[in-house]
Structure 1
Amino acid sequence: MLATVPGVALAEPLPFDAAIERASQDAPSIQAGAAGVEAKRSAAVAAGRLPDPTLNVGIDNFPVSGPPAFSFTAESMTMARIGVEQPFPNPAKRSAQRTRAQADIGMAEGELAVETQNVRLETALAWIDLYYAKRRLAQLDRLIESLDDLQSTVSARLASGSARPSQALEPTQLRGAVNDRRSELAAEVVRAKARLARFTGDPDADVIGDPPMPEVDRASLIAGIPLLPRLKALDAGIIGAEADTSLARADKRPDWRVSASYGRRDPAYGDMVSVGVSIDLPFFAKRRQDPKIAASLSGETQARLLRAAAEREILATLDGDLADHEMHMQRLDNARKVLVPLARRRAELDMASYAAGKLDLGSALLSSLALAEAEVDALSREADVARDAVRINYTYRPITNGEVRP
């Protein structure tokens, strides 16, 4: 019942897995690819079948000169004819046509798998980006709340005469700088929501729950590379190129046709039946069939080389992504163990010095801002690690039954 009410079924925030599942089912590009696969399957039913028979109707031996000219009865050979002809392409050609049709299905399925993988990856990254953008925004909001408390402290000091009047402006000035940063993060939230809405179909897309942190294992990723959708599509392209070569070679084998006709003459004469067989004679193969075979062989070589080049590219890209992931993990570890603790300790010491009257408020506020920036930066580094793990697993792991293989 909820599904019949527009907007109701899509109103709740989505956990990570639910967002991926919804995008896999509802993305228009995936549905278009599925329709393309179905079209290729339907076309494959007719592949390799015998051509339709041909019906022949005509008049034979109709006189146009001499005494019987333009007479249907004066000439004994004149007759109305009806016949049928059935072509029989050679078996090798029909077999190659069936192989080509299956290769077309394989390529369409490969393209669908590639598109499914891309949609799942982009949905996952959009979810990660929205999750961490909201967390960074919440971090700045907590800083703004602390500035409100600090404003009350400054106001109390002004009332007691222990602070300069200009110090009352410093929290407001810092709040203005933080608001600029907050506007940037708010824009990131909107952009990430728009990307997530694009794939899930939810106009008010939102996230709930924690992001996954998939394990990144180079050995298992390398083992699964031959099964990646992109390479499987190229494998189907090789099969298609081989089928094209078989079709070109099959042209050197003769096709043949069987025909039969019935001729009706004047009742004074007897009717006639004709039966015949026609056979193609590929006598000039060097100028006709052989060039096509050579072209198909070149296309076959090209398909294999493209597949090899794609595998090398994937391996090189994987190593680069693994290096980036390792670098981002080290940066995150440095932020958590060094940068954020130092920034927090400095902010605490500066605020204590301000409270003791040993430091001006502006310096103390700058330390608080530096702490907030360090914490936001740590969240950005954590987001980089999560994005790397998700991107690597959703790019370099095969898809089985719509799911990334563990």
Structure 2
Amino acid sequence: MRLIVLAPLLAAIPGVALAEPLTFDAALLRAAREAPSLKASTSGVDAARSSAVAAGRLPDPTINIGIDNFPVSGPPAFTFQGDSMTMARIGIEQPFPNPAKRRAQRDRAQAEIGIAEAGAAVEAQNVRLETALAWVDLFYAKRRLAQLQVLDQSLGELQATVSARLASGSARPSAALEPDQLRAAVNDRRSELAADVAKAQARLARFTGDPEVDVSGDPPILEVDRAKLVAGLASLPSLQALDASVVAADAETELARADKRPDWRVSTSYGRRDPAYGDMVSVGVSIDLPLFSRRRQDPKIAASASEAERARLLRTAGERELVAALDGDLADHVMHHQRLMNARNTLVPLAKRRAELDMASYAAGKLDLGSALLSTLALAEAEDDALSREADVARDAIRINFTYGEMRP
């Protein structure tokens, strides 16, 4: 059903008349390009990839410059004369962390990339979901607002009938006030729906970047298949983020274990002495000795292993939570669909038939105008409630498919 909104009604809602209409798919594409949070997530992924380039590399070498064996006592104290040992020295030292540590550093850097990418996927999914829901909310808010316009027109026609009866003397004078009273109640409802339009438009503008965004076309018709949804849960961005956290925790554990393996350093230096004596070259190797691992490395390994186990348990809990949330959303979807069918097949037809009968009774002089107007208002409320229920069904289908299904980035 296409939405038709008259110009005066649009003018009453700031920003709507000049908005650029977007279809459902176009709004999702615009949000994917314009949402600042997605650009921020992309920058985070780029940062993690840049950091991974340096992971596992050899540390920078160290240069040493100094004076060795400078006398501070005896006849040559504080001079460079008469001492064969004093020399100016320059040297370089290169650390070599053990290969297991460097490999674990690379694995941890790759895990950080996975976490950043999973976080970006989660944010992209959230942006798509919120954009889709905002689009649907704006669509149905405008449809409900347009429906009140039709009621306004019928009240205008009724006002003309009341005026004719007043002129002929067949209606009491107070009857002229009843259409205005009903119109005032409708105006209150219009104000509420206008606020709903503005709020939905603001939410949609948040992701599309267009402060005057508008909607066009119809919402998508989405089917809900529980078996298919459950089969694809493992590929959900939220679970992939938990998987990446497990990989990162395992990398931290391996890095802690690598501390039990010794690192080593190679150094060399050149010593310049008095010209009367020869210069000297020194070469050396130093090796770390992790001899007290019970109080140093082992506690860190145990802590990292516990964090890894915690990450695995959170992954299991996350999957169970998703299954429970899916079943809950499916139950709501079934309930909302049943309510929609009840409104379409029973409530609206009954309200329409009652309004027709009461208006016919009023025309025949068998019913007062107030009762007839109440039936008209009840019909409008029933039709508005049916649209609200239709919106609930559409929101459920979008939320389920965009959260658990294939309609995700």
Q: Same fold (TM over 0.5)?
A: yes
Q: What's the secondary structure of 1:259's corresponding residue? A: strand
- What residue number does 1:56 align with? 64
- What is the deviation of 1:107? 0.5
Q: Distance in 2 between matches of 1:72 and 1:40?
A: 53
Give the aligned partner of residue 66 of structure 1.
Answer: 74
Contact 2:128 2:408 in 1 (8 A): no
Distance 2:295 2:199 in 1: 60
* Equivalent in 296, 299, 311 of residue 304 of structure 2: 296
Residue identity opposite 1:305 in structure 2: L
1:166 counterpart (159, 174, 181): 174
Give the match for residue 228 of structure 1: 236
The aligned counterpart of 1:352 is 360
The one-letter code matched in structure 1 to 2:106 is R
Hey, what does 2:261 align to over in structure 1? 253
The question of 1:95 aligning with 2:103 is answered yes
Task: Give the counterpart of 1:175 among 162, 183, 191.
Answer: 183
Q: CA deviation at 1:215?
A: 1.1
2:29 pairs with one of 21, 30, 36: 21
Out of 218, 221, 241, the position equivalent to 1:210 is: 218
What is the match of residue 4 of structure 1?
none
Match of 2:12 in 1: none
Query: Cα deviations across residues 116-144 of structure 1 (Å, max 9, x unaligned)?
Result: 11111111111000000000011111101
Aligned residue type for 2:133:
L
CA distance in 2 between counterparts of 1:341 and 1:397 reads 36
CA distance, structure 1, for counterparts of residue 81 and residue 160 of structure 2: 122
Distance 2:271 2:297 in 1: 38
**8 Å contact 1:76–1:266 — kept in the other structure?**
yes
Instruction: Kindly provide the amino acid, as one letter, of the partner of residue 300 in structure 2.
Output: K
Tell me by how many angstroms 1:181 deviates.
Answer: 1.0
* Equivalent in the alignment of 1:42: 50
**Do residues 404 (structure 1) and 408 (structure 2) align?**
yes
Query: Which residue of the other structure, out of 110, 120, 130, is the alignment partner of 1:122?
Result: 130
Aligned to 1:282: 290
Question: Cα deviation per residue 1:155-211 (whole Å; 9 max; x = unaligned)?
Answer: 111111111111111111111111111111111111111111111111111100001
Residues 111 and 244 in structure 2, CA contact (< 8 A), matched pair in contact too? yes
Please tell me whether the aligned partners of residues 117 and 395 of structure 1 are also in contact (alpha carbons under 8 angstroms): yes
Within the alignment, does 1:197 sit opposite 2:205 as a pair? yes
Following the alignment from structure 2 to structure 1, what is the Cα–Cα distance between the partners of residues 74 and 217?
A: 99
Q: In the TM superposition, what is the alpha-carbon distance from 1:404 to its structure 2 partner?
A: 2.3
Alignment of 1:135-154 (within 5 A): 135-154=143-162
Indicate yes or no: 2:224 matched with 1:219.
no
Amino acid at match of 2:148: L
For the residue of structure 1 that corresponds to 2:21, the secondary structure is coil
User: How far has the Cα of 1:25 moved from its partner?
Assistant: 1.4
The one-character-per-residue Cα deviations of 1:227-247 (angstroms, maximum 9, x if unpaired) are 111110110110000000000
Contiguous gaps of at least 5 residues in structure 2: 1-14
Of 292, 311, 320 in structure 2, the residue corresponding to residue 312 of structure 1 is: 320
Give yes or no for contact 2:87–2:272 (8 Å, CA) kept in 1. yes
- Whichever residue aligns with residue 42 of structure 1, its letter is S
State the Cα deviation string for residues 313-348 of structure 1 (Å, max 9, x = none).
110010000000000000000000000011111111
| Alpha-carbon shift at residue 213 of structure 1 (Å) | 2.1
> Which amino acid in structure 2 is aligned with residue 199 of structure 1?
F
Tell me by how many angstroms 1:357 deviates. 1.1
1:121, 1:395 within 8 Å by CA — same for their partners in 2? yes
Q: Which structure 2 residues correspond to residues 264-283 of structure 1 after superposition, within 5 A?
A: 264-283=272-291
| Runs of 4+, deviation exceeding 4 Å | none
By how many angstroms is 1:295 displaced? 0.3
- Cα distance between partner residues in 2 of 1:35 and 1:153: 67
Question: 1:1-51 CA distances to partner (integer Å, 9 max, x unpaired)?
Answer: xxxxxx9xx951111111111111111111111111100100000000000
**Equivalents in 2 of 1:314, 1:271: separation in Å?**
73
CA distance in 1, matches of 2:38, 2:259: 38
* One-letter amino acid of the structure 1 residue matched with residue 54 of structure 2: A
Distance 1:264 1:137 in 2: 92
Aligned residues: 393
Q: Distance in 2 between matches of 1:265 and 1:26?
A: 68
2:401 paired residue among 390, 393, 406:
393
Q: Which letter does structure 2 place at the counterpart of 1:20?
A: L
- Checking the alignment, whether the CA contact within 8 Å between 1:170 and 1:361 is kept in structure 2 is yes
Mapped to 2, the partners of 1:11 and 1:35 lie a distance apart of: 31
**Alpha-carbon distance between aligned partners in 1 of 2:111 and 2:228, rounded to the nearest angstrom:** 28
1:377 aligns with 2:381: no
- What is the CA distance between 1:73 and its match in structure 2? 2.9
Q: Tell me, what secondary structure is at the counterpart of 1:45?
A: helix
Is the Cα contact below 8 Å between 1:213 and 1:390 reproduced in 2?
Answer: no
Query: Structure 2: how far apart are the matches of 1:188 and 1:11?
Result: 16
Match of 1:3 in 2: none
Give the letter aligned to residue 218 of structure 2. D
Distance, in Å, in 2 between the alignment partners of 1:49 and 1:122 is 42
Match of 2:120 among 101, 112, 122: 112
Residue 71 of structure 1: CA displacement? 1.5
Deviations 1:38-97, CA, capped at 9 Å, x for gaps: 001000000000000000000011100011111213110111000100000000000000
Q: Is the 8 A contact 1:50 1:87 kept in 2?
A: yes
